[in-house]
Each structure stands twice: as C-alpha cells, then as structure tokens.
Structure 1
Amino acid sequence: MASSKAHHATGWAAGLIAAAVVAHEGAGGSYHIGTMFAFCMGILGGTAPDWLEVAWWTRRRRLWITHRTLTHWGVGWLALLYWSYTSLGTHLMAVPALGFAAGGLMHLLADWPNPLGVPWIAGRHSLNLWNSGRCDIIIVGLAWLAAFMVGDHVWFDDIHTLHAINFVRTLPIHAWLIRAGYPALS
C-alpha cells in the first residue's frame, strides 16, 4: 500500500488525466464545467478504495469490509472506467464517473507493487517490488509523468513531450545506452 500522501498525489494526477480525456472528447460542456468536475472526482477517487471500506454510519468508524477486497477489485474499477468513457456525451453521470474511476484505478496501481497486492480479477496479484510506504516517489513520479504526457497530447499536441525526448537524446547517458545495445529514443 502506498502512503496516504502518495494516494493523494496520484489522485491529483488521475484527476488531470480524467480532465484531459473529458476535454479531448468534447464532453466538458459550457465553460468546461465537466472538465473541472472530472478533475475533482479524480482527486476524490484517488483515495476512494480506502475510505469506501469505512463504516461512516457508525460511531466507531471501523471497516465494514476487509481491507483490499471489494473496494480494491480491479474489474469493478475497469468496468466503471469503460462505461463512463463510452457514455461520455450521452449520460450526465459519465463525466464524474470517469474522474472517479480514473482516481480509483490510479489508487490500485499505486498499491500493486506492495507484497499484499491487489485483487485484479479473482485473486490478489502483487508485483512484490517493495513494502508499504517505500518508494512512493517512484509511484508519484510515474503518475505525474502519465498526467504530463496525456495533458500534453490533449492540450499541446505533444510538443513538450517531443522537447523532453530531444533533451534526453542530448544526455551522455543516452549515447552510452545505445552503445550498450539498448534501442534509441525516436
């Protein structure tokens, strides 16, 4: 499990991705209210799998369901993402659902490297890379890299991504990687 701060940070990145997708599909509506709503729901969805487990209707606020079970089930989040994407422009709830699903999936991706894993289909699967709370900077960095690339594609026609690739080509490490047999960045 990533830390709470990592889930919040990746939720912001998921919100940006959802907003970009809504804007790209033209489902933002007048004054881009839908785009902002998708962004906010992405932030909320970034922590949703954890807070959906809490029994808010009781005084003790204990978990009503075991941690990393139904609320962390990958198929449910993927189904919500698929439905919301295909319903953009035709259903009122598609925009907030897309943001919420993007945040929820980002949460699962942040939890996946942990040895406890995430129940993607039937059983739990783990990448088993590091323990909880470790290497959060990698998770957050990858989430924001994805948000940068999607946002750059939608709003700036990939110009910043191309500049970044050209910059990496000028680095000495790039030439060393090519000599070592790795493919060149194109």
Structure 2
Amino acid sequence: MASRQAHELTGWAAGIAAAAWILHREAAGPYHVWALVTVVAGYLGGTAPDWLELIPWRKGKRWCTHRTITHWVPAWAGLLYGSNLGLPGCWWCAPLFGFAAGGLIHLLIDWPNPRGVPILWSRHSLNLWKSGRADSFVVVMCWIAAVWVFDYLIFGSVHFHRALSLIELA
C-alpha cells in the first residue's frame, strides 16, 4: 500500500479537481462553501478505503479484509457518478462527489503495486512497483493532473497554454 501521506496528499489533489468540477457545474453554493467542503471531502475520501475497514470501538480490528469491499472500484465509481447526477440541485452531492473522487484516487494509486485492487470480482494489479516505492512520483503526477483540471475547467486552459508558449520560447 502507498504511504498514508501519499494517500492524504493525493486526496487533497482529488478534492481540488473535484471542487473545480463543482464550480464548473455551478453547484458551489453561496460563497463557494460547497466547493471548499468538497476539497476537504476529497482529502477524507483519499484515505477512506483504508479507515472504512476498521472497527472504531475495537482498536486494530477490521470488519473486512484489507483491499476487499472498501477498495471495490464499481462502488466508488458509482458513488462518483450518482453524486454527479445530483449536481447542481442537491447540496450534499458536492461533498459526496469530492469524497468519491478521493476514494477513486486512492484506488488508482493502489492499483500499480503487487496487491492491486478488486476491479470487479478478483484483484487486478499493474505490478509496476512495490508499495511505497513511487510515492513521490504518484503525488506529483496527481497534483499536476489536479492543477491541469482546475485550469481547464475554471480558466479554459489559459495558464496551460501560456506555460506551453514559454516552453516553446526556451
């Protein structure tokens, strides 16, 4: 499994990308409150597949095996899709969307290591690296993607195109 810090940092990135979608769908609410809550929900979702396995009143005990039902891709994808359907009319769909985005990013960064994640029924792994070995790379790529999504949805890729023009000049 990737480190807890990697899941937290990628959860923040997923929350920012989800908030951009919430703003784009005009579901941010007064003073953009729901967009801000969506960012925090993305952070919580980024660690959720791991803490949802734990029994709160029994320290160290799990109610299910690690990387089973709480890491099931269709559940998180369905949550993301369903919460998106409720936008912009449903106030609680915005944070739920961020939470689901964080959960999906968690699964995405667990997928390349040998234990993999259950895509439908059985686990699937990309076997690209061992757990915790590529955390920096994964975190940086998630943040680049989040910034690009935010720029694309909110600013129409203006900053991305300016950066490309600066690269061409060099």
TM-score range, shorter chain: over 0.9
Question: Larger Cα Rg: Structure 1 or Structure 2?
Answer: 1
Letter in structure 2 aligned against 1:80? L
Instruction: Tell which deviates more after alignment, 149-158 or 16-25.
Output: 149-158
- Alignment correspondent of 1:24: 24
**Superposition RMSD in Å:** 1.3
Give, in whole Å, the separation in 1 of the partners of 2:163 and 2:115: 35
- TM-score (structure 1 length as normaliser): 0.87
Note if contact 2:27-2:94 (Cα within 8 Å) is conserved in structure 1. yes
1:11 maps to what in 2? 11
Q: How many aligned residue pairs are there?
A: 170
Separation of aligned partners in 2, 1:147 and 1:90:
25
Letter in structure 2 aligned against 1:153: Y
**Contiguous gaps of at least 5 residues in structure 2:** none
- 1:103 deviates by 0.3
Hey, which bits of structure 1, 4+ residues long, moved more than 6 A? Answer: none
Aligned letter for 1:15?
Answer: G
> In the alignment, which residue of structure 2 is the partner of 1:159?
158
- 1:13-162 residue pairs with structure 2 within 5 A? 13-58=13-58, 60-162=59-161
User: What is the match of residue 184 of structure 1?
Assistant: none
Q: What fraction of aligned residue pairs are identical, expressed as a percent?
A: 49
Q: 1:170 Cα deviation (Å)?
A: 4.9
- TM-score of the superposed pair, with normalisation by structure 2: 0.95
Which residue is 1:175 aligned to?
Answer: none
What SS does structure 1 have at the residue aligned with 2:126?
coil
For residues 87 and 165 of structure 1, the distance between their equivalents in structure 2, rounded to whole angstroms, comes to: 36
